[in-house]
Every structure is written in structure tokens, then in C-alpha cells.
Structure 1
Amino acid sequence: MRTRRTLINMAYAVGSSLLLLLLGLVTRRLLVYNFGTQISTASQVVTQLFNFFSIAEFGVGSVISYRLYEQIAAQNAEKISKYMSMYKWAYRAVGVAIAALALLGAAALPWIMPDVPLLTGYTVYGLNVVSTLCSYFLVTRRLMYTCTQQGYLCTRIDFCFNVLTSLAKIAVSLWLPNYVLYFSVAIVCNVCANLVIARRFRKDFPYVHDVKVTLQDFQDLGIFHDLRYYLVHRLSNTIYGSSDTIVTSRMGGSVQTTLLGNYTNISTSATDLGNKIMDSFAAAIGNIVYDKSAAANAHDKQVFWGMDLFSYFFGSFVATAYFCLFQPFMEAWMGPDWLLPMGFVLVFCLNEYVGWNHR
């Protein structure tokens, strides 16, 4: 059953991601050509800023989810309800913290994006605040689908709304070139997708209900102890992965930021695809860890080294493919005026290899 659900999750994730990747290429080109480098830069920088703000999450979702695997294996409905309620309130607290950080971060926008008009920067920033907060307040029900290896049900719903989002963005870019409307359609579709999942959740998991939780419940879970380790991991990844766009915007301007964004847009799509493949295994591994049988315990090491080997091959393939295909693909996609030097591509490929080989 674990293997079957893993393959189903992987098939849905890969199939939907490939189509969305193609649509993403179209929307990215239209964004750059129809709205200009200033709007593109504002979008990239604001996205990276909110990656920094997401440090406020501390990895609380990961800590609670791995506790949840144990209760799902034990079929303890009471504990499952309690952990889901804790997850919901934890994410609401994170949402409030991110809202506070967003207010503080707004003051830095003129310094980070010196050649982007203030009204444009703050408009894009405000829309991103709404989008991010909607996610934190509505996304919590997805956890049960992930932990029970039914993530493909959420993937199907997300796929429909993501396609709708991309088609709406294409239509706006071509016929109603208004960047406020362009970014707003993503917010509306994201909210609708989460509402559909919330409605389905009540039918799929009727035994999960809201219960009262206190700060003592979080302490009893040991969550504050574990968060120290997740925080270091999350902080280092965020600083390493999200600072390049902000530094480029400040020092190189909107044109250089857009050039870099075209390359990172491709790598981000490939990384999302790879992460979804890896996430398809996550719930199965979590269930194996909490399976108390002797056979499952003997299987743990084999699964780990198998995943390690997979990361090596995947990283090698991605890095080689980038080195061979990045420049000709970029020229065909965006045009010869949007290429960065080959030296940059080489370093970029090595960085991707190291990242994937240690995933």
C-alpha cells in the first residue's frame, strides 16, 4: 500500500508539474515583455523577502507532522485531532508574526529596489502580503492528506486552479496589461483551491475535529526543544537561497535582476518538480519510521541509502542538463539579449549539483 500510494503521488506530482512548468515559461516571458523589468524585479524581490519572513515558521509544521505520523500509525483519533488543532493554531501564530515582519520590511523596499517606482513596489508588496497570509491561515488541512499518503488529492485540486491561474495571467498579459489584476488572479485562485480542500477534508476525515489546545500542550510535545534544530536548518537555507535576488536588485538594478530571475525561474521549477518527487516518499518514510515491526526497522537503512543514491543521480543529471542546455534554451525562450555569461552558468550548475546531491 505504501509503494502504491507513493507511485500515485509521484505520478500526479510529476504530471501536473510538467504542464505547469510549461505554462510558467509562457507567463514569465509575458511578464517580462509586457510589464517590463521593473515589475518583474519587484515580483522577484518581494518573493525573496517573504522567504526570509517565513523563518518565523521555525519548522513548526515539520515538527508536528512527524509527530502526527506516529498517531496515524496507531490510529489514535483523539491525538490526531489534538495535533491538527495545534498545527492550525501554530500556523495562525506564524501568520500574525509574518504580518508584523511584513510591516517592518516595508520600510526597506526603497533601499532594496532603488530603480523601481515606490507605488509599483508597494503595490506588489501588498498583494504578496495578502497572498502569503491567506496561505498560512487556510493551508493547514493539507497536512492530513500528506501524512496519510493522499497528497495526490490536493495535487489534483491545485492543478486545476493553477492551470486556471496561468491561463488567466496569460489573458491579462495579452489583453488587459494591468499588473494589479495579473497578481490578483493568483490570490483568488489560491484561496478557492484551499476552500475546496477544506470542504473535502470534512468528508474524508470526519473523525478529525477541533479541540482546545494550550501552551502546555506544545511544551508537552517537546516542540520548543526540537524547533532549535529546525531553526538553524531553516535560517541557513533561507539566507543561502533567498539573498541573491535582493543583493542583485540593490547593486545591479532591475535589468540584471530580471536576467538572473530568468535563470532562477527555470531552476526553481526544476527544484519544485524534484521536491514533489521527494515529497512523494516522505509520508511513506515517516510511516516506516513509526512502524514498530522488526521487518520495518531492518528496512530503514536500505530506504535511506536508496534515497541518498537517488539524490546523487538526480543532482548529476540536473547539473549536466543545465550546463548543456541552459544557454540555447534561454536564447530560444527569451532571446539572445537575455543571456548571462557562460561562467555564471558553470558556477550555477555546480551549485545545483551540490544542493541536490545533499538533499
Structure 2
Amino acid sequence: MEMNRSRNATRNIIFGVILKIYQLVLPFAMRTIIMYELGVKYLGLNSLFTSILQVLNLAELGVGSAMVFSMYKPIAHGDSKTICALMKLYKIYYRVIGLVVLVSGLVLLPFIPKLIAGDVPDGINIYVLYLLNLLATVFTYWLFAYKNSILQAHQRQDVVSKVTIVTDTCKYILQIGMLFAFHNYYYYVCVLLLSQIFNNILTAIVSNKLYPQFQAEGKLPKETVNEIDQKIKDLFTSKLGFTIVSSADTVVISAFLGLEALAIYQNYYYIINAVMGFVAIVYSSITAGVGNSMIVYDTEKNYRDYRIFTFLACWITAFCVSCFSGLFQPFMKLWMGKELLLPYPLVILLCVYFWVYEYIMMASVYKDAGGIWHEDRFRPLFSGLVNLSLNLLTVKLLGLYGIVLSTIISMVVISAPWITSNIFKLIFKKSAKKYIAKVGYYLFTAIVATTVTNIIIKVIPDNGWLWFVVKAAVCVVVSNSIIFMMLLKVSEFSDAVSLIAKMFHAEKLVQKFKLNKESEK
């Protein structure tokens, strides 16, 4: 059975973007309220607990990715019996994972104060806050987590987005009410716990309604289980490396520089992470379709698609970097005040980090869809260990500069070349030289667009929100104009336009434009 990949991807992207805008605006409001109602150290605590729980989520081992990948083939072949058996296995694994996370979290409990340099907010018991956050994480595994897999494997992330909008609306209304009425951070975290339970239950109800034929029952052959277990083992090192990269920075900043420095850094990273989330919508929306395509179509067709996706990803990242470099400082000045600004050279480093990160994430779509986890299993781990080692070596000498530089070096030297080599060797079975040269040109395009955009917007005054909006509009127009001019002649340009037209059902309009262009010649 061939999926309608374009329709599913379009639907997922549309609802994913709606959800991401929602999840950007309301958490932004929450972060602002916490800052002005409770203080900057509470922002640091929030970030620290999030990172600690990411480390505990190592117990997940990549089970979700392995199980969803295992469903691609039976879905393509209409094998309902195997899908049900996979769901039962998924259910068992997640119950065990929840228990492991709970026990590991309790073992870590006595060491929590050691991860905070300086004082914590007055009247706060960090043990209680940590336990509440831990329980919220545990319930994500124990309450119907396996139901989510059937939605992901069928490219129905739009359903997950709709459920999340409903549950997050309830959560944010209650959290804002608690902060204004009681100025109590404990109540704020309790609402987080309850909303996670509500989200899991509602997702399970919707999943049962859409796919009632798929229930957790049956048994898989031993060979299949062994194959899945091997995928999980391969994914563990990948998960470990990714967690080190994503969490080490936060924990090291808190332990060596304190909660206030962490809060300032996280204000910037919050914006970058929000934009990463928007781009991740596209990646997550196409992953199942790419996996299906690898089963249905030949290597050349998939390689052509990969070049198109790279083109689109590099356009998006070039535009984002142009905006980050030009708008970060004026925005932070208006949002948090001059005293909570990072030095501008550090902003440039964050832009470099974003570009490299997005390149790796785009390549990871094909790594995950192609299931080459065994061959790729040590890449994230080595990259993460290098990142952590450099963090510890440079944090006292260079402060936040050392933290960001460590991450960039680990990605540029290890992760990006390694994943590119794996994809071309194992999936496309060809040399990556021409592809790398083109990516180099895309990077050059990003540098030119960023430089010119920044030169132009520097002449615009830096006073108030109105001028910020003017700067933002100029960033959008100038950066995209330069990118358009520099990429217009690239061979992937017309293919990318056709793909976007297909996704949004505008093929006839594009074809008409092409015919008019040919008649003019």
C-alpha cells in the first residue's frame, strides 16, 4: 500500500506549524510572566530540570523510532496482524522504560543541589520540584504512550498536533492563573503533571477512533523481536550522544556559572529552539513518507528527493540565520532588558550552531527513514563526548563562549561529515563530493545574505517595537531576495518549486507558468 505522502506531509506541516506558533507564543508569554512575577532564577531552574529529565529519558533507548520504523513495511503491505503485535511489544517496552526512569530519577535525587552553582530562590524545595517534574516524565511512558506510534507510522502527526493544542490550552490557562493568583511555582509544576496525563489519555482515545482495527495484541516471531532489539541497541548510542549534546550545555552552565547565567543563555536558546521546532515539523512530517518511498521507489528517485530537501532546508536556515543575527539583540533588549543581553559575538556563534545543527537534522531524516542506525550508532556518542569534554575544559576559561564553541566543534568535526558519509555510502551508494560542493555553495549563500541584511538594517533606529517590526520586515525581504537571486540557477530550484506546488495542490499553476515562459522564448 503506497501512502499519499504529499497529502499527508502537507496536512502534517500545516497543523504542525499551527501548533508550533501556538507553542511559541504561549510559552513565550509564560517565560515572560515567570521572569517578571517570580524572577530570573526560576527561569534557570525550569531549564535545568528540563535538561536533567532529558538525560533520564535515555531509558527510552530509541524504542519509539525503532517501533515506528518497524511499522513502515507492514503498513505498506497492509499487514494488520503484525502491526497489532508490534503495538503490544511497544506497550510492554514502555512500561519497563517508565519504571527505569522513575528508579533512575530517585537515585539521582540526592545529587540535584550539586548541579546548581550559587543560591536557589528563597522558599523553594528543589527536591519537591524535581520529583513533580520526574512524575510528569514517567507518566508519558506509562499512560498509553504506545498509541502514539500508530499515528506517527501513518503520517498522522496532524492528529497529535490537534490533541496537543487542546491539552496545552488547558495547561496554559491554569498555569497563568496559578502564577497570577498565588505566585506559587509549585502549583505551576503540578498543572504540568496533570496536563501530561490528560494529553496521553486523549491521544489514546483519538487513536482508537481513527484506527480501531489496531489494538495491542498478538505475538511477533522471535526473529522479528531480536531484529527490533538490535535496532534499539543501535539507537541507544545515538540517543546517548544526542542527549549529551542537548543537555550537557545546560547542566554545565548551571553547575559552573549559576542559574542567572543559564537563564540569560536560555532566553536566546529558547528562540533558536522554537525556530528549530518549526523546521522539525517539516522533517517529522516527511520521515514516514521518505521511509515508504525507500520501499516503493529506486535509489535515484530517493537521491533526487534528498537533493531537493537539502535545497529547501538550506534556504530556510539561511533565512533564519539572517534574521537571528540582525534581530536577536534588539528583540532581547525589548523583551528582557539591556542587563540580560549576551555579547554580539556569542550571537554569531549561536547562528553558526543553528546552521550546522539543521544540516545534521535534515540528514537524520534519511538516516532514520533508511534505518541505518547500526552503522550510525557511534557518531552521536563520539560527538556528544567531545562536546562534553570541551565544555568542561573551556567553561571556566571562556565561559559561555566555550560552551557554544564546544558544541559547534563537535558537530562540524565529527557529526556532520560522519552522517553524510553514512547516507551516501549506505543509502545512495555513491560519492558525496558533488553534493558537498553544493552544500558549500548554500553555506556561502547564507553568509552573503546574512552580511548584506545586517549592513542594511543597522541604519534603522533601535527604539521601540515599531522599529523592531520594520527591522524584521526588512530582514525578511532582503534576505530572501538575496537567497532567491543566488539560488535561482541551481538545478534543484525548479524541482523544489514543483514539490511545493504538489504539496499545496498548485501543480496546474506552475505548469501554466512554465508554458508561458517557454512561449516567450
Q: TM-score, normalised by structure 1?
A: 0.93
Structure 2: how far apart are the matches of 1:217 and 1:260?
48
Q: 1:254 Cα deviation (Å)?
A: 1.6
Alignment of 1:1-359 (within 5 A): 1-114=4-117, 115-116=119-120, 119-138=124-143, 139-211=145-217, 213=219, 217=222, 220-291=225-296, 295=297, 298-359=300-361
Instruction: Tell me if structure 2 keeps the 8 A contact 1:37–1:255.
Output: yes
Task: Give a deviation string over 1:237-295, Cα, whole Å, max 9, x none.
Answer: 1111211111111111121111112112112211222112211111211221232xxx5
Structure 1: how far apart are the matches of 2:234 and 2:148?
24
Q: 1:229 Cα deviation (Å)?
A: 3.0
Comparing 134-143 and 78-87, the one that deviates more:
134-143
Distance 1:315 1:229, change over 3 A: farther
Q: Secondary structure of 2:125's match? A: helix
Percentage of pairs with the same residue: 23
Structure 1 spans left out of the alignment, 5+ residues: none
Q: 1:315 Cα deviation (Å)?
A: 2.3
Q: Secondary structure of 1:207's match? A: coil
Q: Which amino acid letter does the alignment assign opposite residue 149 of structure 1?
A: Q
Q: Which amino acid letter does the alignment assign opposite residue 116 of structure 1?
A: V
Distance 1:218 1:235, change over 3 A: farther
Distance 1:196 1:354, change over 3 A: same
Instruction: Tell me if structure 2 keeps the 8 A contact 1:218–1:224.
Output: no
Q: 1:203 Cα deviation (Å)?
A: 2.1
Instruction: Tell me if structure 2 keeps the 8 A contact 1:72–1:80.
Output: yes
Distance 1:3 1:297, change over 3 A: same
- Relative contact order, CA 8 A, sep 6+: which one is greater? 1
Instruction: Tell me if structure 2 keeps the 8 A contact 1:314–1:357.
Output: no
Structure 2 spans left out of the alignment, 5+ residues: 362-521
Structure 2: how far apart are the matches of 1:15 and 1:209?
30
Q: Secondary structure of 1:358's match? A: helix
Q: 1:200 Cα deviation (Å)?
A: 2.2
Task: Give a deviation string over 1:193-246, Cα, whole Å, max 9, x none.
Answer: 2212212222222211222558x7476441232234322222221111211111
Q: Secondary structure of 1:290's match? A: helix
Q: 1:333 Cα deviation (Å)?
A: 1.3
Instruction: Tell me if structure 2 keeps the 8 A contact 1:82–1:213.
Output: yes
Q: Which amino acid letter does the alignment assign opposite residue 257 of structure 1?
A: L
Structure 1: how far apart are the matches of 2:229 and 2:286?
27
Kindly report the root-mean-square deviation, in angstroms, between the aligned alpha carbons of the 2 structures. Answer: 1.9
Q: Between Structure 1 and Structure 2, how many residues are aligned?
A: 355
Structure 2: how far apart are the matches of 1:218 and 1:231?
20
Q: 1:159 Cα deviation (Å)?
A: 0.9
Q: 1:298 Cα deviation (Å)?
A: 4.5
Instruction: Tell me if structure 2 keeps the 8 A contact 1:10–1:277.
Output: yes
Q: Where has structure 1 moved over 3 Å in runs of 4 or more? A: 216-221, 295-298
Structure 2: how far apart are the matches of 1:55 and 1:89?
17
Instruction: Tell me if structure 2 keeps the 8 A contact 1:43–1:124.
Output: no
Structure 2: how far apart are the matches of 1:345 and 1:148?
39
Q: 1:85 Cα deviation (Å)?
A: 1.0
Task: Give a deviation string over 1:300-357, Cα, whole Å, max 9, x none.
Answer: 2222222222222222222222111111111111122211111211111111111012
Q: Which amino acid letter does the alignment assign opposite residue 41 of structure 2?
A: Q
Task: Give a deviation string over 1:141-180, Cα, whole Å, max 9, x none.
Answer: 1111111122211211111221222222222222221111
